[in-house]
Amino acid sequence: MTSYLYPYIQESINLNSKNTDNYIMTIQYYLDGLSFVIFDTAENKFIALKHYHTTEKGISLETLLSELQEKESWKMEDFKSVNILIDNNNNTFVPKDYFQEETKESYLSLLNLQSSNVMTDIIAEQDMINVYSSKEDLGFLNSNIKVFHSSSILIKRLIKEFSNRTPETRAFVNVKNNSYELIILNNDKLVFHNYFNFNTKEDFLYFILFTFDQLNIDNESVHLYFIGFIEEKSTLVELCSRYVRNIRFFNRDNDYNYINELNSVPYYYYYTLYSFISCE
């Protein structure tokens, strides 16, 4: 098989073939690769994390999953369950009362987004539907594999995380390569969700401050949380800290256990991936 996947993070994995019925695998599929975690339900522990990147664009998910299983020497059907998070920008949220299943493709078409292979997630916490598309037909997946959009899991997790905390407006920046996802919650209500591309650190800051200004959010008091692939001491964070006083990064969820090897990987890098377990 031609190799498309290259390890970016290669943490040790000690899977017990007798215990795979206890393992839940969550895969996050990006345009340039994929990541996965494995959770042991018997031990309440995350026992594996890996991130692979691809050097070629447009490789199908079916091809990548086939190679992944060959590299890791296990089969996805051996696990208790497998969940795939589609991480792309082809999605929009529709209030549940206005959503019509038979015309779901139209919601993306109206926004000039890709409208083939359209799927939906229900976000009951907000009475809304996340309508999204995949660049390919996912009919090849086995029936034990469930598919979600990554933003559905991220929003569910953030609402759960902050619903019982002090009521206030909070902003979350989920950093990818040259883009980020900006989410704003007012208490436990979703106020804003959008994606922004950036080329410079000034671009990065501009879209955040512009959104704050449009929503009358005081950047001196709002808490801004960073998620995803960004360093705490990066020039992006340093610039943002000049204009936004309260900047935060997520710590581990202490409701779960983690193998020691994961101590070297910042938790917030893979916050969405880890979050699936708490959203089941």
Domains of the chain are: 5-87+253-279 (3.30.420), 154-249 (3.30.420.260)
Q: What gap in Å lies between CA 263 and CA 164, rounded to an integer?
A: 28
**219-234 average pLDDT score:** 95
Which residue, 186, 165, 184, 163, is CA-closest to 173?
184
Q: What percent of the chain has pLDDT over 90?
A: 74
- Residues 57-92 pLDDT 10s: 788 999 999 999 988 888 899 899 999 999 999 999
> Quick one: pLDDT band at residue 13, thresholds 50, 70, 90?
low
pLDDT at 58: 80
DSSP 45: E
Residue indicated by tokens 């089969």: 75
**47-60 average pLDDT score:** 87
Q: What percent of the chain has pLDDT over 70?
A: 94
Which residue, 27, 21, 70, is CA-closest to 42?
21
pLDDT at 44: 96
**232-248 average pLDDT score:** 96
pLDDT at 88: 94
**214-218 average pLDDT score:** 97
pLDDT at 118: 95
**184-190 average pLDDT score:** 92
> Quick one: pLDDT band at residue 107, thresholds 50, 70, 90?
very high
Q: What gap in Å lies between CA 23 and CA 123, rounded to an integer?
A: 25
**What's the whole-model pTM score?**
0.94
Contact 59, 40 (CB under 8 A): no
- Residues 113-142 pLDDT 10s: 888 899 999 999 899 999 999 988 999 998
> Quick one: pLDDT band at residue 7, thresholds 50, 70, 90?
low
pLDDT at 266: 92
Average pLDDT taken over every residue of the chain: 91
> Quick one: pLDDT band at residue 1, thresholds 50, 70, 90?
very low
Any idea which of 9-18, 107-116, 255-264 has the lowest mean pLDDT? 9-18
